[in-house]
Amino acid sequence: MGTNGREGDVTGQPRENAGRMHVTQSHADLRRMPFPNTILPMLRTLVFPGAFFAAVAASSFQSLRSGHAVGQSAIRQDTLGFYTEEQAVAGQAVFAKVCSECHESKDVAGGDFRTKWSGQTVYALFEQIRTTMPDGNPGSLPKEDYASAVAYILKLNKLPVGPTALGTDSLSLSSKKLVLPPE
């Protein structure tokens, strides 16, 4: 609507296809102006790389928030096994010999355990066990026995077996999260 209430431009003069004609004329006017030919290459040089950088930065930030290092594959960690079958069998023997004095296997595989440990690192579980158990003599077992016991607990919680044994160093254990499947 024009300023006088009639369909048309701001002067109130009627136009054919008022809105559409105005847009078409604007685009035609821009094509005749000298600056788009000089501005467009500059925009391609500045804006497009900036948008690419922003997209990469946002993706990296999201990766960091999800617990993955930049450049690390975003494969779900619950699909990767980080203990061997042999280690879990050794852990079952450690559990039967040492842990079963105070714990049943259901204590480390039930809903309460999953609620407490899901989302935690394997290192947190390993350290909790290593520094507090066995009850009368915490830390008295070799680190490999603690790692085997953790492997057995992972197996009880239906986490998959993998090609590599669970280590005992804080760096490798801290990089693994417990993604515990529902019961």
Q: What is the pLDDT of residues 115-168, one digit of tens each?
A: 999 999 999 999 999 999 999 999 999 999 999 999 999 999 999 999 999 999
- Percent share of the chain, pLDDT over 90: 51
If we measure between CA atoms, which residue out of 85, 91, 93, 83 comes closest to residue 165? 83
Residue 109 DSSP code: T
Structural domain boundaries in the chain: 77-174
**Torsion on CA atoms 175, 178, 179, 181, rounded to nearest 10:** 150
Please name the fold of domain 77-174: Cytochrome Bc1 Complex; Chain D, domain 2 (1.10.760)
What pTM, to 2 d.p., does this model score? Answer: 0.58
